[in-house]
Amino acid sequence: MSAHGPMPRSAWIFPALAVLLFAVATVLGLDFTPSAGGLLFAAVLLAILFGTVFAAVHHAEVIGERIGEPYGTLVLTLSITIIEVVLIATIMLGEKPVPALARDTVFAVVMIVCNGLVGLCIFIGGLRYREQDFQVSGANLYLSVLFVLATITLVMPNYTLTTSGPVYSSAQLGFVSAVTVVLYAVFLYTQTIRHSDYFVSNGGDAAHEAPMPNRMLALSVGLLLVSLLAVVLLAKKFSLVVDVVTAMIGAPPAFAGVLVALLILLPESVAAVGAARKNELQKSINLALGSSLATIGLTIPAVAVAAYTLGKPLVLGLNTQEMVLLMLTFVISMLTFGTGRTNILFGLVHMVVFAVFLFMVFVP
């Protein structure tokens, strides 16, 4: 969505509706119950919540277009990560604790992004342009950090001796969280300062439109903060909907993680697919792989601090089937991003792995 056009009404209406819904629900004591009225409330809540997340992404894109790449993509990624941390922490640490939700959500994000989203972007780009180019050096940095973070947070807990898996001891969790934050911080430094040219398309930006007015930038900054606040306020109501819906349809526990991941990734996915359609695969890769790194690098430490502070258990280790899918994703990602050029077959391979992941969630 261009930052130079007029601001769409939905970009300010949904954040306002979200704050209003929270105020009305708090004053009137509205809550979600498995009844006709409760289902109506859930439908309204989900519609407003999705709209607010889209609004937050739009304002992050507006800010990002003003400050340029790769900082723009970074603003978008961090905004999505804030939403994700709030939703996970609210559900996982609520009245009905779900200690494996952080693991399920992070794993779902990796599978959705690295297979579903990456595969769809490459496939659509391949259909329109046969082949697309991207910076191999930037992709390699993404993958090297992603592989390490995913392994020490999702696989290593199963093989520690201090405690029996799939959990870390307090000392191990603290150390891994610190290492994760440091590694992600150094990656951000590399992406934005030291080697920012690795994350910009080879051709560069040809021409730029007139600079965005400062008033538009200030308005987007304010509305982005309101949108993030609105998501925080509605997170508790959303957690109740997830709990009841999961129980009503008899879905496995991992379904809640997939649902949270889909909610937070949908707007970013739309932006990534749109970039691929415009032959901007580098931007698609920045959005996709950047969101995976931010999810692990920021979400796991944040949830770990919350769990430790409140004395709640935190399950991180994947089961054997999930580890196989994660390793498969690592291997095909190295092959896909190893040459700097993509085609539809690479995209299809990733989408097949994503389809296997979804199927295995419901039929493990």
Q: What is the dihedral of CA 216, 298, 88, 291, to 10 degrees?
A: 60
- CATH node for 10-362: 1.20.1420.30
- In this prediction, residues 191-195 reach a mean pLDDT of 83
**pLDDT tens-digit map of 321-349:** 999 999 999 999 999 998 888 999 999 99
pLDDT at 211 (0 to 100): 62
**pLDDT tens-digit map of 232-280:** 888 878 877 777 777 777 778 788 888 888 887 887 788 889 889 999 8
Name the percent of the chain lying above pLDDT 90: 32
146: closest CA among 282, 286, 291, 293?
A: 293
Say if residues 81 and 106 touch (Cβ distance below 8 Å): no
The residue ranking higher by pLDDT, 169 or 251, is 169
| CA–CA distance, 6 with 119 (Å, rounded to integer) | 32
Task: Read off the amino acid at residue 157.
Answer: P
* 3-class secondary structure, 12: helix
Please, which residues have CB within 8 angstroms of residue 353's CB and are 6 or more apart in sequence? 111, 115, 119, 325, 328, 329, 332
pLDDT at 202 (0 to 100): 60
Domain ranges of the chain: 10-362
pLDDT at 186 (0 to 100): 92
The Cα-based distances of 288 to 14, 37, 270, 285 in angstroms read 25, 38, 11, 5
The residue ranking higher by pLDDT, 318 or 263, is 318
Report long-range pairs for 242-245 (Cβ below 8 Å, ≥24 apart).
242/91, 243/91, 243/94, 243/96, 244/32, 244/33, 244/34, 244/38, 245/42
| CA–CA distance, 98 with 93 (Å, rounded to integer) | 7
- In this prediction, residues 84-107 reach a mean pLDDT of 78
Say if residues 70 and 196 touch (Cβ distance below 8 Å): yes
The Cα-based distances of 303 to 102, 148, 203, 343 in angstroms read 7, 19, 40, 38
317: closest CA among 88, 150, 145, 109?
A: 150
Q: Tokens 């779900």 map to which residue?
A: 98
Residue 85 has pLDDT above 70, yes or no: yes
Please, which residues have CB within 8 angstroms of residue 363's CB and are 6 or more apart in sequence? none
Q: Is the torsion defined by CA of 316, 321, 324, 326 positive or negative? A: negative
At 46, the pLDDT band (50, 70, 90 cuts) reads confident
pLDDT at 319 (0 to 100): 94
User: How much is the pTM?
Assistant: 0.84
Residue 1 has pLDDT above 50, yes or no: no
The Cα-based distances of 354 to 119, 159, 201, 317 in angstroms read 9, 26, 27, 20
pLDDT at 215 (0 to 100): 80
| CA–CA distance, 175 with 168 (Å, rounded to integer) | 10
At 320, the pLDDT band (50, 70, 90 cuts) reads very high
**pLDDT tens-digit map of 102-160:** 899 889 989 999 999 999 999 999 999 988 888 899 899 999 999 999 999 999 999 99
Q: Is the torsion defined by CA of 58, 63, 66, 70 positive or negative? A: negative
The DSSP code for 161 is: S
Residue 66 has pLDDT above 80, yes or no: no
Say if residues 253 and 104 touch (Cβ distance below 8 Å): yes
- In this prediction, residues 40-61 reach a mean pLDDT of 85
pLDDT at 209 (0 to 100): 52
Residue 2 has pLDDT above 70, yes or no: no
pLDDT at 355 (0 to 100): 97
Partners of 341 in beta bridges: 133
> Considering only 45-59, 74-88, 180-194, 342-356, which range has the smallest mean pLDDT?
74-88
pLDDT at 94 (0 to 100): 63
Token duo for residue 87:
């939703």
φ/ψ bin of 134: left (φ > 0), alpha (ψ from -120 to 50), beta (otherwise): beta
At 204, the pLDDT band (50, 70, 90 cuts) reads very low
Q: Tokens 């992004």 map to which residue?
A: 113
Max mean pLDDT range (35-44, 80-89, 219-228, 238-247): 219-228
Name the percent of the chain lying above pLDDT 70: 90
pLDDT at 238 (0 to 100): 81
